[in-house]
Amino acid sequence: MKLHVINTGYFKLDGGAMFGVVPKVIWNKLCPADENNLIQLAMRCLLIESNNRVILIDNGIGNKQDEKFLRHYYLNGSDSLDRSLEVSGFKKEDITDVILTHLHFDHCGGSIERIGNNLKPAFPRATYWTNEAHWQWATSPNEREKASFLKENIFPLEEYGVLKMIAAGEKKANTLPSASFSDEIDIRFCFGHTNAMMLPQINYNGHTIVFVADLLPTVGHIPLPYVMGYDMFPMETLKEKKEFLAEAVEKNYILFFEHDPVYECCTLKMTDKGVRVNETFSLSKILTD
């Protein structure tokens, strides 16, 4: 197995929305805001070479939206999906599988590209993976969340017949439901941020790496009360974080962050204030161990 970090660029969101009930005087020390109260966030994806498969986890915001839409999110930086794939030695035609943690536009926008007046899968040889509960949720969205589910990112996957579903396993006590994707990748399911979000868990060279998506968007979201205002079911997020973080400390998981603008990975430790960061590092640290 080989792992590659795929940086698709940066964007900005309201810091208050990202930290919910936590006061700005506290979260601003973790993620400093600009004069418009916006904080910088990454759209960091992960590519996995495993058993003749090339698996991409999420793919950023894409570039097919109009200027007005993109202007709301202040896209910045020199990284892009295509450029990062090229740096890692790949092109879109090489991707065999795309695991979509969930169908919010900043996670799946790169799935579909606009060619002329047509929308087509950006990875022509790939199977795209979601799950039935989340698909139904995203394709019949509630009024609060529907702005995050863009039809042009979602429905072409079904229309082109490239979509497959991962079935969630039964929930066990004090752990997130899970399913097996391959010999080396399991999928954990969460229900607080959005219905049936998927967290890939990768067994790599004696390490367990969890792609934590929007359960823990940044290192700053590790304390239990630090829950996003964007979450549909914040009390469920709180419960899921408590269960997952305890397990992550016990089993020494490596957390891989999709949105943290600085840190790619961390390990955790238990303190008298609860679970906190033990060590932050780039994924390359374990790739060269």
CB 233 within 8 A of CB 271: no
Per-residue model confidence as pLDDT tens digits over 121-151: 999 999 999 999 999 999 999 999 999 999 9
pLDDT tens-digit series, residues 59-89: 999 999 988 888 899 999 999 999 999 999 9
Q: Is the dihedral of CA 135, 200, 241, 219 positive or negative?
A: negative
| DSSP class per residue in 174-206 | TS--EEESSSSEEEEEE-SSSTTEEEEEEEETT
Closest CA to 200 of 184, 222, 218, 221: 184
Contact 176, 198 (CB under 8 A): no
Inter-helix orientation angle 132-139/151-159, to 10°: 130
Give residue 41's identity as a one-letter amino acid code.
L
Could you tell me how far CA 87 lies from the centroid of its own chain? 21
Question: Under 8 Å CB-to-CB from 235, ≥6 apart: which residues?
Answer: 192
Tokens at 253, concatenated: 């998981």
pLDDT of residue 68: 87
Contacts of 18 (CB under 8 A, 6+ apart): 27, 31, 39, 41, 217, 218, 228, 229, 230
- pLDDT given at position 70: 87
Q: What is the DSSP letter of 222?
A: -
The predicted model scores a pTM of 0.96
Q: What is the pLDDT of residue 172?
A: 66
Note the maximum CA span of the chain: 58
In this prediction, the residues of the chain whose per-residue pLDDT falls under 50 are none
At 147, list the tokens.
């702005």
Q: Which pLDDT does position 289 carry in this prediction?
A: 55
Contact between 274 and 224 under an 8 Å Cβ cutoff? The reply is yes
Q: Give the model's pLDDT for residue 177.
A: 86
pLDDT of residue 282: 97
Burial class (CB in 10 A: 0-12, 13-18, 19+), 98: buried
